[in-house]
Structure 1
Amino acid sequence: MTNKIVAVQGNHPSSLNPVTDTSAFLANEIQNKYKIFYYDPKDLSIINKKVIAKGSFIKFNYQNKKFYKIIKEQTLDLAKCKFILIRQDPPFNLEYISTTYILDFIKNKVKIINNPTSIRNISEKLYSTKYLKYMPDTLFSQDINEIKNFIKKHKKVIIKPIHSYSGNDIHLLNKFNSKLINKFIKKHDHIMCQKFLPKINKGDKRVFIINGKVCGAISRVPKKGSYLSNMSKGAKPININLTKQENKISKLIAKDLKKENIYFAGIDFIDQKLNGDINVTSPTGLKTFFDLSGINLAKTFWKELKA
């Protein structure tokens, strides 16, 4: 059984949506060749110098109403796996960071996607400061006066936490609101402020990067009256192509991420500008891309990884 296991560190399968979930899509693609072992981050331990996880061997079947089946519950030495996928949702908090330190212990024995050290080193929003010239005007701060000046300059501004996900806790401000911003800073410390791009109503673009290559993209159009392009917030996905400018920027970032030992990532554009989210913790959208285009990037994912 050694080396014929793919472990997925993620949210419990019962919480996943089979219509859109990328973790299940990746596991489903490889399960005829490898056994799939699923475990929750809280069930990860170091015991007697071994990295141990309590979880379940499971099978996925998109034809069934309950799209997964637990075959066997087990405690597993993760060094016996061929691959480990880090797929739990952010927020990127201390628990998340702790799991990367634990998995660091075996990263030279097992191929871990994405590399736990690299996940820790690349803040999904702060890493984008390397590419500010491709972004709308952006500020990272918890200085209330700097934020006030930024809002005064740009009139319409998006504020969001640095370590959140899925469009949670994002606000569109038309004027400086001292009470809201002070409360926001108290909760999130440093925050990201960005000039609002009104063309978000036409959709953003999510670009898929695998092994340093730009592999495809979808657009996500916010529901009427919303400025959130996350599908979890009701946005509608559509098939699109990248512009020459978007492709150029995507290739540049893909090359940099490969150097950083990031294998799988998602980056986002609004109106041909990078919006500053470099998704490396748990990139999504592959199942949706397949449904829209017929192109199966899960096959690409495993082919590139095994190569």
Structure 2
Amino acid sequence: MINKIIAIQGNHPSKLNPTTDTSVFLAHEIQNKKYKIFYYDPKDLSIINSKVIAKGFFIKFNYSQKKFFKILKKQKLDLSNCKYILIRQDPPFNLEYISTTYILDTIKDKVKIINNPTSIRNISEKLYSAKYQKFMPRTIFTQNIDEIKKFFKTHKKVIIKPIHSYSGNDIHLLDSLNLRFIKKFIKKHDHIMCQKYLYKISKGDKRVFLINGKVCGAISRVPKKGSFLSNMSKGAKPINIELTNIEKRISILIAKNLKKENIFFAGIDFIDQKLNGDINVTSPTGLKTLFDLSGINLAKVFWKELRA
């Protein structure tokens, strides 16, 4: 009999918001199918005597209770005994993140890991979008000040982002060329992404959910007044939307390409029908929000496609 254990590598449940969190939503769905959920922090992952061991706990999630999770039993677990492992911790995509992918690489032929650890390591969430630049606003990836000056002179209003950050952190809108600030920013982040500012962000972006090479749904996130950040963690409001034909066509192309790269679950974002350059493969979010807005349960689709 196949062991019905699903391990989640993630941030401690006490740090999660059950009303929006995708990891909780996925776990809650599959535990109803009699699977046990084992939860561990990336720092508690080890290789001991050639086995991949995680120190963590079995857990049960319950949306109807004030405390939405209950730790059932703390223990160490040989992760090769699991049916699936979900890599769900928040970036930053730092050396600890990379180390966990190397550790999990050693058992990926024994256990299905979502997303594939080698693929996560190979697909830099922002740099991977360079192959889709014809679908994006004008964008450069650089730490060269002269290139940034030239780009700013052309576009006047520019968004700058670190390549390995997440959740709208350290994203800045420049409407004047502050070289002192830019040099400091580059010193901190090395290569950065510079992108022409799209005014229609005030109407919201669109997050598209890709599962197993298929386009499965989308939501829009409208920035709060005075902000250009569409992340819900930064106060953006989610609304239900449809994709345009252009957005569908681009999404289908990327979904198929990501499947070839062994990426099972991803999120991509559009602003004004243009891909904004974030190909979210490390810990895509938004499934619980889509369910609350539309009643569409992509957690069911996720597990069905995984078992297909």
TM > 0.5 fold call = yes
What is the letter of the counterpart of residue 295 of structure 1? I
CA distance in 2, matches of 1:137, 1:195: 5
The corresponding residue for 2:301 is: 300
The corresponding residue for 1:164 is: 165
Moved over 2 A (4+): none
The corresponding residue for 1:243 is: 244
**What runs of 5+ residues in structure 1 fail to find an aligned partner?**
none
The corresponding residue for 1:226 is: 227
The corresponding residue for 2:26 is: 26
1:211-290 equivalent positions in 2, closer than 5 A: 211-290=212-291
CA distance in 2, matches of 1:181, 1:66: 44
1:1-307 equivalent positions in 2, closer than 5 A: 3-32=3-32, 33-307=34-308
What is the letter of the counterpart of residue 304 of structure 2? K
What is the letter of the counterpart of residue 206 of structure 2? K
What is the letter of the counterpart of residue 264 of structure 2? Y
What is the letter of the counterpart of residue 210 of structure 1? I
CA distance in 1, matches of 2:103, 2:3: 20
- Is the CA contact 1:267–1:279 (under 8 Å) kept in the aligned structure 2? yes
**What runs of 5+ residues in structure 2 fail to find an aligned partner?**
none
Q: Secondary structure at the match of 2:215?
A: strand
- What TM-score do you get using the length of structure 1 for normalisation? 0.99
Q: Deviations over 1:236-261 (max 9, x none)?
A: 00000000000000000000000000
Report how far residue 146 of structure 1 moved.
0.4
CA distance in 2, matches of 1:179, 1:210: 43
Report how far residue 175 of structure 1 moved.
1.5
CA distance in 2, matches of 1:231, 1:123: 22
CA distance in 2, matches of 1:8, 1:126: 26
CA distance in 2, matches of 1:215, 1:222: 23
Q: Deviations over 1:167-192 (max 9, x none)?
A: 00000000211111111100100000
What is the letter of the counterpart of residue 55 of structure 1? G
CA distance in 2, matches of 1:226, 1:297: 29
CA distance in 1, matches of 2:181, 2:36: 49
- Is the CA contact 1:203–1:222 (under 8 Å) kept in the aligned structure 2? yes
- Is the CA contact 1:134–1:273 (under 8 Å) kept in the aligned structure 2? yes
CA distance in 1, matches of 2:180, 2:71: 48
- Is the CA contact 1:61–1:68 (under 8 Å) kept in the aligned structure 2? yes
Report how far residue 2 of structure 1 moved.
6.0
- Is the CA contact 1:152–1:175 (under 8 Å) kept in the aligned structure 2? no
Report how far residue 3 of structure 1 moved.
1.8
Q: Deviations over 1:250-278 (max 9, x none)?
A: 00000000000000000000000000000
- Is the CA contact 1:142–1:191 (under 8 Å) kept in the aligned structure 2? yes
Q: Deviations over 1:20-56 (max 9, x none)?
A: 0000000000013210000000000000000000001
CA distance in 1, matches of 2:18, 2:45: 25
Report how far residue 135 of structure 1 moved.
0.2
- Is the CA contact 1:266–1:280 (under 8 Å) kept in the aligned structure 2? yes
CA distance in 2, matches of 1:8, 1:85: 5
Q: Secondary structure at the match of 1:287?
A: helix
- What TM-score do you get using the length of structure 2 for normalisation? 0.99
CA distance in 1, matches of 2:189, 2:284: 22
Report how far residue 152 of structure 1 moved.
1.1
CA RMSD of aligned residues (A): 0.7
CA distance in 1, matches of 2:2, 2:190: 44
Q: Secondary structure at the match of 1:255?
A: helix
Alignment length (residue pairs): 307
CA distance in 1, matches of 2:187, 2:56: 36
